[in-house]
Structure 1
Amino acid sequence: MSDLLIELFSEEIPARMQARARADLQKLVTDGLVEAGLTYAHAAAFSTPRRLTLAIEGLSAESRAVREERKGPSTSAPAQAVEGFLRSTGLSLDQLEKRADKKGEVYFAVIEKPGRAAPLIIADVLETTIRTFPWPKSMRWGAGSLRWVRPLHSILCLLSDEGGAEVVPLSVDGIVSGNSTRGHRFLSPGAFSVNNFEDYAAKLKRAHVILDSAEREDTIWAEAQTLAFAAGMELVEDRGLLAEVAGLVEWPVPLMGRIGADFLHLPPEVLQTSMKEHQKFFSVKNPKTGRIEGFVTVANTVTADHGETILKGNQKVLAARLSDARFFWENDLRVAKFGMADWAEGLKSVTFHNKLGSQADRIARIAALAREIAPMVGADPDLAERAARLAKLDLRSAMVGEFPELQGLMGLYYAQAAGEPEAVAHAARDHYAPLGPSDAVPTEPVSVAVALADKIDTLTGFWAIDEKPTGSKDPFALRRAALGVIRLVLGNEVRLGLSTLFGTAMAERLSHFGTDGEDAKTSDLLAFFHDRLKVFLKDQGIRHDVIDACLAMPGNDDLTLLVKRAQALQATLQTEDGANLVAGSKRASNILAQAEAKDGVEYSFGADPKFAETDEERALFTALDQAEAAIAPAMAREDFAAAMQAMAGLRAPIDAFFTATQINSDNPILRRNRLNLLHRIRAICLSVADLGKLDG
């Protein structure tokens, strides 16, 4: 067994591409080696701004020899058929064998492929990988035809074992493989040779290159926290920025600076976003004031003045950037203090969708919907409508024009500056939420009303114009909008009849196009919601068939009610009585269905206990009476747990009844009575959930 080390050394690889490139390199090479017949024990990929590295342990020395027998056409087959078989096997006619077969004599090809040495396979696989590497963007340079993300300078390809190391020979567009690499561009630019991965990683570190991006992240975070702590400040966590910065440096040197006093009055999110997007700076907060007052930048080199010159240059550039942000902020505040009327007017000329009108049209629809939803979530209708009319006006602000990711948040500040109620300002901030599975769900009633209205308007609008998600394509993020509605409803235990809301909104949109059919579209949209709900609840451990059993019940457009029922049913099925009751209920339903099909009648008249012959039969009548008496009031107060507990209590008397009683008695009166009794069992179970939808 040998170890393989590959390094592709180039000009700087964009940080955003490095994680994907590591994964692609590992997959392409290892898949290629395995497909060619080699095996390996472990593989790991690494990256720095100037190199992609792959280390493979326990690689086999050669591929196994392969012997394949392939049956061909009859020896009397037309020449064209034989020639086609020869082409597919790569053999000549005299290399084929003739063998007896049931239908006569046929040709057989025996194809033997000898094992290949690992270096030959590695060279082929690596050259193919380099030439076909799936960079999002690539370039050519010089006179060659090779494409790479940035000019590729060298290829290190080394196979090593206890006996030493050998270079795997290959050449790609004039770049010949070797056993050497280079260190840090400024601190250790010279070339050096390596013998194996351990030697490689150690020499790189001595040459001021930390190979592992995770180690660079840990170094940056630890040293940046130390700098902030020493100044009595706190580093603002940003894991996405940390990963990006780690992809920009090979030898990270964090440096801390201060933000000029002229900019400290800007909202902290503006400072943080400006520094992150333009400078890749980490924000540093003063815990005493709660303001962003400093920053940490990460240099890629060590300087004699301990980074003083670097900091001065960065602070100069930062001051220019923050001057722009201050200009945007102050101009926007002037508009906000006069009620944002200019922004509202401007949105009339901004198209939301060519079939759904302008942003102003959309805001009017959301405002009407928010007013309708408000009483259902405990919000003031006037405040909900007002919030909906203001929530998207910051889209016309200069700050959001510069930093689109601040939309909503800037709406909060501008609404506050305009003197709007806090509930209105908070709704402007929160109405986009939740944007993702980890995003917090708004809880303030006005925010919930506007957030629901925003998402329901989006869904019903695009459903009305038949722009639905298809396969993996969802250009308008409708799956995310549906999940947002689900999380808002369930997170706040909101009781909404979605069918009514969808129908009202759909009818308004379809009337605009002069068409109808809102019932069909509403049903289709509700089915889409049910599919998204299944995905959401599956992640919470609720079985898909449990959800199906509850979806079959009335009121399935009330998601809070639906989930309460599903949770209670799942809990019941996890008990022995609950699981066995399902089997008993299905048995009753099957026998009843067979009898009804055979007799051509429906057995639902009502079983009479006076015809009961056995103690078990009489006990079942009593148990059903008790269950009905408990289930009906429990269902009326939506206490599904109590209803299902009462239903599960039927398990023992149903089992005893089936054991002791012959359903299809020779006595037609007894048979009819017992079939009516089975109908009663089925009806009681169906009053809680459709147990027939359950698996097993």
Structure 2
Amino acid sequence: MSHNTPLPLLVELFTEELPPKALARLGDAFAQGIERGLKERGLLPPEALATPFATPRRLAVGFDAVLGKAPDTAIRAKVLPVSVALDKDGNPAPPLAKKLAAMGFADLPLDALERASDGKAEAFFYTYTAPGLALAEALQAALDETLGKLPIPKVMNYQRPDGKSVQFVRPVHALVALHGSQIVPVTALGLAAGNTTLGHRFLSHGPISLDAAQNYAGLLAEQGKVIASYAERKATIRRELLAKAGGDHVVMPEALLDEVCALVEWPVVYECHFEAAFLEVPQECLILTMQTNQKYFAVTDRPLEQGGRLRNRFLIVSNIATATPQHIVEGNERVVRPRLADARFFFAQDQKKTLAQRVPQLAQVVYHNKLGTQLERTRRLEKLAGAIAADLGADPSQCERAAHLCKADLLTDMVGEFPELQGTMGTYYARHDGESEEVALACSEHYQPRFAGDNLPASLTGTVVALADKLETLVGIWGIGLHPTGEKDPFALRRHALGVLRILIEKPLPLSLPALLDAAYAQFTGGVKAPDYLADVYQFLLDRLRGYLKDKGYSANEIEAVLSQNPARMDDVLMRLEAVRAFSALPEAEALAAANKRIGNILRKAGEDRESSGIASIVTPALLKEDAERALAADVARVAPVVSERLTERAYGDALAALAQLRTAVDAFFNDVMVMADDMALRNNRLALLAQLHAQMNCVADISKLAA
């Protein structure tokens, strides 16, 4: 075996319990940092694989193949320009000796240097072999760099055994660095590397001596009762939860799985129960209570999205494996009971006052100091919802009632305890109060979509109030100068904008987006800027739309062809895009797109030309002198009513297909006709013909954007 044969490498920091919500990120950053540092220094062969490890008490990374020393490398270094290195007689000048000494090559003879061009002038170069770094030196550098860049949420100061102060996310007790079976002599946070670690805090006894890097995960599992891999531990938890659920469904959001995975090293799932009487409380409250406060997994009879109902049993992930878990089970059942009782109490207390009775209290809740209270906002939502309802043919009274009540649950005890339940509790309380089902549903649906990929409101009333809520936020917050900048978007305007677009497109709704922005602005009686900024809000929405359409697979050219026209209605954007895509596949498309671009340039230049400022709005047949221009005028006149009819039917593909018939006449026109004739009457008549053609060609989209 070569003395530089790649061997497995392990690096581990053994710590006090790490912050659970940061563990996954810390583990990935630690592994990636060490990998990057070794790769940059030439220690990792191209096929080397890295395996990250992260548990509540350790950050580690293993590699299957790492060199003990990086290969030597040939370096061709520029020394100095010849004009600087030599004096006027061609002899070495003092700057050359100084430069060579600085490079570590003092007394190097001139004939050892290569004289060549550096691309600008002649220069001297020197090629030498740089020895590769030893693993210890490279790993030390990689370790130092990685620890300095870890995404630590909050740094902790602690004292090492020698009394010196150290800063890290948590106190570190041991460092392991093994290359094969050999300890790599590196240090970190005042600790020298060894080959000893510890296992589970309760299930393992005494230090674990690691005989070889590749045996790390196996020894920890066997002797230490620790599943070192974060991904493997999470998969184990998921598998055990599903097995314990039997025929039921486990409610296990990824964030909860991640947090629990970061709390245990040897996960064991146990089943617990609570009294069935608690099921009288809305299940969203009980589920959130168990997840947020106790990190428990609720169990339902089928998936929630399919109308699943909560069972009175729940699953816990323990860090203790025992054949007699009754004490663990009883302890968790005892702990959850007061939490569920609190939820039941909040629910009962909240129902003593109707949502309508709570609305006046919204005057005590500030929405924004420049935009007034939540009550003032509620009044704006009522009027805007009524206006949108009238345009859609919905019941304005229902929509205004829903808007009147939709923020009232913010004042309830349940939402005060669990803000995530705003809207959800509004629906429950509205039903209890005897409101119509449309109004009750709108109390929760008006927040939809809450995130990317979330469901849209199902009811028409919910849809109207959702639009009103998002538009009021966009126009109001933008109107006081708090539009998103860079990554900062504290009022989630990007999310609100995408919500508006998704509702208009996916429902779909025959509404004008600029008109909606105007209607939202009309509800503000003061505090916001003059309405000029609404154009910026509209463009902001179009920018969000570009991303949305790109995700749907449309090309940048297709998207710009449609959106550069600043469409008012979003409900036919997808139809226009499909028409553009179909047109692009026609044999005439490329030539017509190029012609359209040329026409646009001609008309733009003519508009800037004072001599051509008298372009007619209609074409005068008597001034059509050439056969080609007469033929084009006849074809435009023939096609125009067909295109107009197709546009009325919103048959955009057929409209563009009809325009494709113009290709022959357009090609002939540009081959045979001089547009910018000396005779101003002829020139302006030809420009008028091109203007008519341009308007026809761009009736669905700006097809010039398709030109390469």
- TM-score norm. by structure 2 comes to 0.86
State the SS of the aligned residue for 1:257: strand
1:219 matched to which residue of 2?
Answer: 236
Q: CA offset at residue 599 of structure 1?
A: 9.3
Q: How does 1:337-376 map to 2 (within 5 A)?
A: 339-341=355-357, 343-376=358-391
Q: Which amino acid is 2:353 matched to?
A: V
1:56 matched to which residue of 2?
Answer: 63
RMSD over aligned CA atoms reads: 3.5
Q: Which amino acid is 1:155 matched to?
A: L
1:35 matched to which residue of 2?
Answer: 40
Q: Which segment is superposed worse, 42-51 or 664-673?
A: 664-673
* 1:469-524 Cα distance to aligned partner (Å, 9 max, x none): 11111111111111111111112111222323323433553x524x8621x11112
Q: 1:665 to 1:70 in 2, by over 3 A?
A: same
Q: 1:620–1:653: 8 Å Cα contact kept in structure 2?
A: yes
1:272 pairs with one of 284, 287, 291: 287
Whole-angstrom CA distance in 2 between matches of 1:362 and 1:454: 9
Q: Which amino acid is 2:321 matched to?
A: V
Whole-angstrom CA distance in 2 between matches of 1:273 and 1:596: 64
Q: Which segment is superposed worse, 180-189 or 296-305?
A: 180-189
Whole-angstrom CA distance in 2 between matches of 1:427 and 1:88: 78
Q: Which segment is superposed worse, 682-691 or 471-480?
A: 682-691
Q: CA offset at residue 591 of structure 1?
A: 5.6
Q: CA offset at residue 108 of structure 1?
A: 8.4
State the SS of the aligned residue for 2:410: helix
Question: Is 1:586 matched with 2:586?
Answer: no
Q: 1:445 to 1:329 in 2, by over 3 A?
A: same
Q: Which segment is superposed worse, 124-133 or 435-444?
A: 124-133
* 1:628-662 Cα distance to aligned partner (Å, 9 max, x none): 12101112333222211212233344346556x35
Q: CA offset at residue 694 of structure 1?
A: 4.1
Whole-angstrom CA distance in 2 between matches of 1:597 and 1:497: 32
Whole-angstrom CA distance in 2 between matches of 1:178 and 1:548: 60
Q: Which segment is superposed worse, 662-671 or 572-581?
A: 662-671
Q: 1:549–1:689: 8 Å Cα contact kept in structure 2?
A: yes
Q: Which segment is superposed worse, 479-488 or 65-74?
A: 65-74
* 1:424-479 Cα distance to aligned partner (Å, 9 max, x none): 11000111111111110113111011111111111111122111111111111111
* 1:331-350 Cα distance to aligned partner (Å, 9 max, x none): 112223xx441x32332111
Q: 1:607–1:677: 8 Å Cα contact kept in structure 2?
A: no
Q: 1:377–1:445: 8 Å Cα contact kept in structure 2?
A: no
Q: CA offset at residue 101 of structure 1?
A: 11
Q: 1:441 to 1:101 in 2, by over 3 A?
A: closer
State the SS of the aligned residue for 1:121: helix
Q: Which amino acid is 1:15 matched to?
A: P
Q: 1:680 to 1:460 in 2, by over 3 A?
A: closer
2:636 pairs with one of 624, 630, 642: 624
Whole-angstrom CA distance in 2 between matches of 1:101 and 1:268: 79
Q: 1:22–1:52: 8 Å Cα contact kept in structure 2?
A: yes
Q: How does 1:303-314 map to 2 (within 5 A)?
A: 303-305=322-324, 307-314=325-332
Q: 1:67–1:113: 8 Å Cα contact kept in structure 2?
A: no
Q: 2:158–2:171: 8 Å Cα contact kept in structure 1?
A: yes
1:283 pairs with one of 271, 292, 298: 298
1:68 matched to which residue of 2?
Answer: 77
Q: 1:96–1:109: 8 Å Cα contact kept in structure 2?
A: no
Q: CA offset at residue 109 of structure 1?
A: 9.1
Q: CA offset at residue 127 of structure 1?
A: 3.1
1:6 pairs with one of 7, 11, 14: 11
* 1:615-635 Cα distance to aligned partner (Å, 9 max, x none): x77764554333212101112
Question: Is 1:326 matched with 2:344?
Answer: yes
1:144 pairs with one of 149, 156, 164: 164
Q: Which segment is superposed worse, 191-200 or 412-421?
A: 191-200
Q: 1:682 to 1:253 in 2, by over 3 A?
A: same
2:650 matched to which residue of 1?
Answer: 638
State the SS of the aligned residue for 2:193: strand
Whole-angstrom CA distance in 2 between matches of 1:664 and 1:622: 17
Whole-angstrom CA distance in 2 between matches of 1:318 and 1:627: 74
Q: CA offset at residue 582 of structure 1?
A: 0.8
Q: How does 1:181-200 map to 2 (within 5 A)?
A: 181-200=197-216
State the SS of the aligned residue for 2:179: strand
1:559 matched to which residue of 2?
Answer: 570
Q: 2:394–2:460: 8 Å Cα contact kept in structure 1?
A: yes
- Percent identity, aligned pairs only? 36
Q: 1:105 to 1:572 in 2, by over 3 A?
A: closer
Q: CA offset at residue 258 of structure 1?
A: 1.4
Whole-angstrom CA distance in 2 between matches of 1:662 and 1:435: 58
Whole-angstrom CA distance in 1 between matches of 2:397 and 2:34: 62
Q: 1:238–1:282: 8 Å Cα contact kept in structure 2?
A: no
Question: How many residues get paired?
Answer: 676
Q: Which segment is superposed worse, 668-677 or 36-45?
A: 668-677
Q: 2:267–2:320: 8 Å Cα contact kept in structure 1?
A: yes
Q: 1:412–1:429: 8 Å Cα contact kept in structure 2?
A: yes
1:45 matched to which residue of 2?
Answer: 52
1:647 matched to which residue of 2?
Answer: 659
Q: 1:145–1:173: 8 Å Cα contact kept in structure 2?
A: no
Whole-angstrom CA distance in 1 between matches of 2:54 and 2:257: 15
2:90 matched to which residue of 1?
Answer: none
* 1:359-400 Cα distance to aligned partner (Å, 9 max, x none): 111111111111111122332111111111111111111111
Q: Which segment is superposed worse, 280-289 or 624-633?
A: 280-289
* 1:526-566 Cα distance to aligned partner (Å, 9 max, x none): 11111111121111122344333334437x23222444323
Question: Is 1:153 matched with 2:165?
Answer: no
Whole-angstrom CA distance in 2 between matches of 1:295 and 1:206: 30
Structure 1 residue runs of 5 or longer lacking an equivalent are none
Q: Which amino acid is 2:13 matched to?
A: L
Q: 1:245–1:298: 8 Å Cα contact kept in structure 2?
A: yes
State the SS of the aligned residue for 2:137: helix
State the SS of the aligned residue for 2:352: helix
State the SS of the aligned residue for 1:55: strand
Q: 2:299–2:315: 8 Å Cα contact kept in structure 1?
A: yes
Whole-angstrom CA distance in 1 between matches of 2:565 and 2:151: 50
- TM-score norm. by structure 1 comes to 0.88
State the SS of the aligned residue for 2:202: coil
Q: 1:74–1:105: 8 Å Cα contact kept in structure 2?
A: no
Q: 1:486–1:559: 8 Å Cα contact kept in structure 2?
A: yes
State the SS of the aligned residue for 1:368: helix
Q: Which amino acid is 2:20 matched to?
A: A
State the SS of the aligned residue for 1:335: coil
2:530 matched to which residue of 1?
Answer: 517
* 1:141-175 Cα distance to aligned partner (Å, 9 max, x none): 22333222222111111123xxxx32111223431
1:298 pairs with one of 317, 324, 329: 317
Q: 1:62 to 1:108 in 2, by over 3 A?
A: closer
